[in-house]
């Protein structure tokens, strides 16, 4: 079954890459680590595929001011765990023009997109989703982004009640400023909110900049579980310093959970940090090492030490 799915995926990619009617980009990323993990029952070794993927971006220009856009992206579990080693990531079709960009399908909500690049260990063990809600990629969504007004842009995701949202409709909205790669602007900032998305309300503010050669990032977040009423207030900071072929990285995240029941307030804390180093072998290839530690008042503490390789094409 895995071979059939893999062959079908490559067939689709080949068709898109060969057609002369559209502008196409075939891309991929392999990120695989070998690590020593401890999730509360003693340490064990494992090989992890950290959201390795294959994808196609395609657009067809209908006129000078209108084009059809398509993205097909799948996750490939290079470690071979489980029976299903291929799963869907962002997959959508839409239109783009002077009015902005409108896409339909499975996609990251604009709240997830609003984090920019501040999470330096995204898709790995230190991902901010371990404490913060809002990192949602949902099916059956409609996402609209306005044209840029200077460096500002508005985004809206409508989550239909056919999505993975417990049969409830939800909305995600965000205001962006600048370039999240910090190549065109010195600052990137965003404010975002979810309303009834996967059972949570979320409010988030994010900022990143470069200072004395160090890329700095920060986020504050408030979230509420709409079923239990539990609220979290938290913050996140990150920093990356590059010297020649080396990237030194670190981030810290903290959250305080509070739940009020029958006049009593219970409070639990969660913290996590990750430190790591990357060494660039080439423009699109690197080796890496990291250590991640999460501490929870109301759950099992976890820590990970790993090393691996990443290749993008």
State the CATH number of the domain containing residue 300: 2.40.160.10
Burial class (CB in 10 A: 0-12, 13-18, 19+), 37: middle
Looking at the domain assignment, is residue 272 inside a domain?
Answer: yes
Say what the pLDDT of residue 1 is: 47
Say what the pLDDT of residue 264 is: 85
Q: Measure the CA–CA gap between 294 and 255, rounded to whole angstroms.
A: 11
Looking at the domain assignment, is residue 110 inside a domain?
Answer: yes
Looking at the domain assignment, is residue 226 inside a domain?
Answer: yes
Mean pLDDT (whole number) for 178-206: 97
Looking at the domain assignment, is residue 3 inside a domain?
Answer: no
Residue 260 pLDDT class (50, 70, 90 cuts):
confident
Instruction: Tell me the CA distances in angstroms from 64 to 20, 24, 68, 267, one per residue in order.
Output: 18, 18, 12, 57
List the one residue out of 219, 232, 308 whose CA is nearest residue 268: 232
Give the least confident one: 15-24, 93-102, 240-249: 15-24
Has residue 15 got a pLDDT over 90? no
Strands (E), 13-65: 23-38, 43-49, 53-63
Q: Give the tokens for residue 85.
A: 């080693």
Say what the pLDDT of residue 262 is: 74
Looking at the domain assignment, is residue 17 inside a domain?
Answer: no
**Backbone phi and psi for residue 99, each to the nearest 5 degrees, phi listed first:** -80, -15
Looking at the domain assignment, is residue 43 inside a domain?
Answer: no
Is there a contact between 287 and 279 (Cβ–Cβ < 8 Å)?
yes
Looking at the domain assignment, is residue 173 inside a domain?
Answer: yes
Looking at the domain assignment, is residue 165 inside a domain?
Answer: yes
Say what the pLDDT of residue 2 is: 53
Counting the structural domains of the chain, the total is 1
Q: Write the DSSP symbol of residue 201.
A: E
Domain of 188 in residue numbering reads as 86-312
Is there a contact between 166 and 132 (Cβ–Cβ < 8 Å)?
no
């Amino acid at each position: 079954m895995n071979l059939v799915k893999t062959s079908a995926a490559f067939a689709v990619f080949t068709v898109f890459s060969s057609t002369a009617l559209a502008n196409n980009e075939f891309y991929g990323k392999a990120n695989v680590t070998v690590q020593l993990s401890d999730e509360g029952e003693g340490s064990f070794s494992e090989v992890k595929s950290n959201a390795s993927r294959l994808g196609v971006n395609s657009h067809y220009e209908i006129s000078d001011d209108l084009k059809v856009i398509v993205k097909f992206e799948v996750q490939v579990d290079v470690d071979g765990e489980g029976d299903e080693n291929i799963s869907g990531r962002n997959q959508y079709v839409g239109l783009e023009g002077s009015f902005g960009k409108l896409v339909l399908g499975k996609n990251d909500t604009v709240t997830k997109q609003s984090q920019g690049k501040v999470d330096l260990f995204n898709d790995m063990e230190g991902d901010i989703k371990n404490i913060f809600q809002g990192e949602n990629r949902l099916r059956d969504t409609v996402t609209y982004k306005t044209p840029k007004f200077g460096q500002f842009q508005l985004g809206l995701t409508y989550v239909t009640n056919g999505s993975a949202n417990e049969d409830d409709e939800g909305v995600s909205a965000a205001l962006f400023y600048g370039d999240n790669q910090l190549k065109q602007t010195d600052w990137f900032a965003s404010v975002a909110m979810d309303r009834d998305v996967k059972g949570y309300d979320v409010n988030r503010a994010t900022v990143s900049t470069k200072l004395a050669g160090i890329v700095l990032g920060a986020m504050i977040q408030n979230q509420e579980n709409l079923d239990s009423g539990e609220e979290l207030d938290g913050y996140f900071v990150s920093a990356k310093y590059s010297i020649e072929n080396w990237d030194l990285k670190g981030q810290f995240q903290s959250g305080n959970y509070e739940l009020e029941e029958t006049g009593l307030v219970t409070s639990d804390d969660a913290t996590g940090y990750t430190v790591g180093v990357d060494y660039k072998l080439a423009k699109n290839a690197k080796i890496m090492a990291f250590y991640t530690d999460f501490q929870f008042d109301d759950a099992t503490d976890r820590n990970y030490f790993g090393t691996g390789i990443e290749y993008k094409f």
